[in-house]
Every structure is written in C-alpha cells, then in structure tokens.
Structure 1
Amino acid sequence: MPLLRFDGVSKTYDGPHTALSDLSFSVAEGELLFVTGHSGAGKSTLLRLIHLSERPSRGSVLVDDRNLAKVRGRQVALHRRRVGVVHQDHRLLTDRSVYENVALPLLIAGTPSAEVGKRVRVMLDKVGLGARERARPGELSAGEQQRVGIARAMVSQPRLLLADEPTGNLDPTLAAEIMQLFAAMPAQGTAVMIASHDLALVKRMRRRVLVLDHGKLADDISPEDLAS
C-alpha cells in the first residue's frame, strides 16, 4: 500500500484558473522524489493539497489509504503533525531562539518536556546547529535558517516531509548540503517530496522526478532514466 496517492486530482480557482488537472500518482513509504516544472506549473498547489492547506476540486488525495476529504475539524491538526513542511522563506519566529523554534511542534503536540529537550538537541546536532540553540534567527545565515526550518519539520518524526523550493535562496554548496540532509531521511522512515525548479540539482540527486506542465503530469521519470 502506498503512503500517498493522488487519484484524478484537479484543483480549479475562481477566475477560472486550473492549477492541477487530473493528476494521478503514488508515493511509497520512505521514498524520496522531486516535483518539478515551470513557475506556475502547480508544484506548490500539489504540496498544499497534501498538507490540507487546500482541498481538491475533483479527485481524491489519500494518505495511508485514508481519503483526506474525510479529515475535518481538529483532525486536520493531527494530520499536519504527520506531515512536516519546509518552506522556502523559513517562517521562523524571530523573537524565539533556535531551540524554541524547533521545539514548537513538540510543545503543540503535548510532548513531555524532558523528551522535548532530548529530541530538539538530537535534531539540531543532525543539521549541524548544536552550538547555536540559543541564537535568534536574525543572527543566523540564510543556510542556517533553512536548516532550523528542516529541524523543526523533522523533529516530530513525520511520515512524510514536504519541501517547497528549499534551496531557492541558497548558494550551490549550501544547496548540496541541504539535499544530503533530505537524502538521509528515508533511512529513518520518512518519505520526502521536494518541489524544485533547479534541474541541475534534481538530475544530480538521481531520484524519481514528477514533471508538471500547466497542472498536468507531463512525465514520471525513474532514477534509472535520469542516469542514462
């Protein structure tokens, strides 16, 4: 059974503007894949449907074989705890420390304080920021802020991690470092879906690629095809 499945999903906005059209694909447990395409192809809309920031106009989005159309009310917050999100613009709380930013999802979930401290410090060490836990976001470089965002998305051990243009503001060296962090996550049981327009980076990673073109699935490229 796939972790995530799109069955004939379309999303239309008033105007009318069709952001996604008849999209069908599935994602396995612990899979890392990319979603790419031109600006406005529907990458961000696709991620928002999984995170329940948006609802489809037609079709079904299923996680663990459960139709997200049935997830309503307070169940939405429970769903979002299982789906981590890394934003391009970090969305860190500037008046809180690095530690407090990363701890936030655990505190919201009611995790015991001793467990919070342990998990936050393990995660900060993993992203190379163990020594910066007391710093405020404004004291960090763009790459460090992005790593805080990744740590915050990962600390609650989600089944699925969504990353929307996570390397868009980074230089190539930092972008490669961030991608290596993502590449290590499937081994820990987290599936990772990365929306990116950086085709050179995507090709270098040699993972499955979904190509969107004006909201349609134009191609589903296997790692083997990328390597050839």
Structure 2
Amino acid sequence: MPVLRFDSVSKVYPGPRTALEAVSFAMDAGEMVFVTGHSGAGKSTLLRLIHLAERPSRGTVLFDDRNLASVRGSAIARHRRDVGVVFQNHQLLTDRSVADNVALPLVLRGMKRAEIGKRVRSILERVGLGGRERALPEQLSAGEQQRVGIARAIVAEPTLLIADEPTGNLDPSLSTEIMALFAALPERGTSVLVASHDIALVKRMKKRVLVLANGQLEDDIAPEDLADA
C-alpha cells in the first residue's frame, strides 16, 4: 500500500500563480524518493501539502490511505507526528539547548524522561553532534544547526520524513553522510522524500527521482535509468 499518493493535485496562489498543476504519483512504504527541479518548480509547495502547511486547490493527497482533506483541528497535530520535517531554515528554538530541541517530538508523545535522554544521545551521535547536547543553537554553525533539525525530524521514527534542501548548508562530505543516514531510514520503517536541486548528489544516491518543471510532473525516473537521465 502506498504511504503517500497525489491524485491530480494542483495548488494555485492568489495572483493567480500556479505552483502545482495536476501532479499525480504514488510512493510506497519503505521507499526513498527525490523531488528535483528548478527554483520555483513547486518542490517546497509539494512538501507543504504533505505536512498540512498548505491545502491543495484541486485534487487529493492521501497519506497512509487517509485523505488529508479530512484532517482538521486537533487531528493536524497527530498527523504531523507521523511526518518528520527537515526545514531549510532549521526552525530551532533559540532559547533551548540542542538536546531540548531534538527531544521535542518525544516530549509531545509523552515518552518517559530516561528513554528520551537515551534516544536523543543516540541520534545526536548518528548526526555527528555527540557531546553538543547542552549547546544553544546560536553557538552552532549553520551546518550544525541543520543537523540538529535533521536529528529532531527523525528521533521519533516517523512514518514519513520530508526534507527541503537538507544539504544546502553542508559541505560535500557531510552531505554524503547525511544522505546515507536518510537512505538507512527505510530499513527502520521510515519512508523518505527529499527535495533537492543538487543533481550530482541525487544521481549518486541511485534512488527514484520525480522531476518538477513549472509545477508539473515532467518525469518519474527509476533508479536504474538514472545513469542515462
């Protein structure tokens, strides 16, 4: 069963400006998929529809076979627990430590303090930030802040992780490490959807690629076809 499905989804902003036009695709549970395209192609809008930061103008978005149009009120917060998000601008709480930022999804789930501490330390080690638990975000580099955002997004092992240009502030070697971390998530039960304009990095990952152009799904490239793309 697909973890995510778009059926003829369009998003039109006032103006009017069409960000997405009749986009259809399905993503299986346990899959890692990239969305690529030029700036303004609709990548961020697509991710915002999944996270319910936006609603489609037309069409249907299904998550775990649930129509997101029916998700309203308090159910939005429950939906977002199942969707980890790595934002371009980190969106960290500046007055909280690294550990507190990463722990937030676990606190919201009511997890016990001892288990939270263990999970947070483990995930910070995995993203290369072991020993930085007590630092404040302003004491970190942009790349380190990005890794805190990634740790927060995956610490609760969500059903789906969506990431908007997650390697934009990272050097090439760290970008490769973070992508390897993402690629390991499906084995742990988390599907991964990454928006990126880094074509070279996307090709190296050898995963399925959705190509957006002017709000339309221009291509859906299977991993085995990437060498010729």
In the alignment, residue 52 of structure 1 is paired with which amino acid?
A: L
In the alignment, residue 85 of structure 2 is paired with which amino acid?
A: V
Shift of 1:128: 2.0
Aligned to 1:74: 74
Shift of 1:172: 1.5
Aligned to 1:202: 202
| Deviation digits for residues 99-143 of structure 1 (CA, Å, limit 9, x no counterpart) | 011011111222222221122122112212221111111222222
Aligned to 1:37: 37
Shift of 1:76: 0.2
* Number of residue-to-residue matches in the alignment: 228
136-145 vs 206-215, which deviates more? 136-145
5+ residue gaps, structure 2, are none
Aligned pairs for 1:153-192 within 5 A: 153-192=153-192
Aligned to 1:55: 55
The TM-score normalised by the length of structure 1 is: 0.97
Aligned to 2:222: 222
| Deviation digits for residues 195-220 of structure 1 (CA, Å, limit 9, x no counterpart) | 00111111111110000011000000
Shift of 1:144: 1.7
- Contact 2:83–2:159 (8 Å) recurs in 1: yes
- Contact 2:124–2:130 (8 Å) recurs in 1: yes
**CA distance in structure 2 between the partners assigned to 1:211 and 1:30 by the alignment:** 20
**CA distance in structure 1 between the partners assigned to 2:19 and 2:128 by the alignment:** 37
| Deviation digits for residues 133-192 of structure 1 (CA, Å, limit 9, x no counterpart) | 111112222222111111100111100000001111222122112111111111111111
5+ residue gaps, structure 1, are none
Aligned to 2:7: 7
In the alignment, residue 120 of structure 1 is paired with which amino acid?
A: V
118-127 vs 214-223, which deviates more? 118-127
| Deviation digits for residues 23-47 of structure 1 (CA, Å, limit 9, x no counterpart) | 1100111111100001100000000
- Contact 2:3–2:64 (8 Å) recurs in 1: yes
Aligned to 1:20: 20
Shift of 1:79: 0.1
Provide the alpha-carbon RMSD of the alignment.
1.1
**CA distance in structure 1 between the partners assigned to 2:139 and 2:71 by the alignment:** 39
Matched residue of 1:27: which SS? strand
51-60 vs 137-146, which deviates more? 137-146
Matched residue of 2:90: which SS? coil
56-65 vs 108-117, which deviates more? 108-117
- Contact 2:10–2:57 (8 Å) recurs in 1: yes
**CA distance in structure 1 between the partners assigned to 2:118 and 2:64 by the alignment:** 29
Aligned to 2:85: 85
- Contact 2:119–2:155 (8 Å) recurs in 1: yes
145-154 vs 134-143, which deviates more? 134-143
Matched residue of 1:132: which SS? coil
Aligned to 1:142: 142
| Deviation digits for residues 61-84 of structure 1 (CA, Å, limit 9, x no counterpart) | 001111000000000000000000
